Amino acid sequence: MSRFHALAIALVAGVSGTVVALGAESDIKLKPGTGLDVVQGNCAACHSLDYIVINSPFLDAPGWQAEVTKMVNAYGAPIEKADQDKIAAYLAANYAK
């Protein structure tokens, strides 16, 4: 087997492993609570909900409010003001440090 063929096989094996790993990602289950439906309906439209779980050790209630504001103002998330407040309240109640 030539070096080229060995490299090609290694590359395909590496890519296949990555695809399998990504395909095995499980659904994120957020804590039940008031506003969960608003979070799922708005936040998951743009990114995985694991973002919430991953950042929960670092963000307090004002931090979550700032994140929601950033998503709307910096990234253009189309979230109504009433829903922004519900999202921030849910995150503060369930995922604030």
52 falls within a domain: yes
78 falls within a domain: yes
The neighbour count for residue 95, using CB atoms within 10 Å, is 20
1 falls within a domain: no
Q: Could you tell me which of 37, 38, 41, 92 has the C-alpha nearest to residue 63?
A: 92
Handedness of CA 80, 86, 89, 95 (dihedral sign): negative
As for how many domains the chain has, the answer is 1
Q: What is the DSSP letter of 1?
A: -
85 falls within a domain: yes
- 90 vs 42: CA distance, rounded Å: 13
Question: What is the CATH number for 70?
Answer: 1.10.760.10
For 67, the domain range is: 28-95
- 47 vs 22: CA distance, rounded Å: 15
53 falls within a domain: yes
87 falls within a domain: yes
Calculated CA dihedral for residues 73, 48, 37, 55, nearest 10 degrees:
-70
Whether the pTM exceeds 0.75: the reply is no
Give pLDDT tens digits for 63-87.
999 999 999 999 999 999 999 999 9
Give pLDDT tens digits for 12-47.
444 444 333 344 445 889 999 999 999 999 999 999
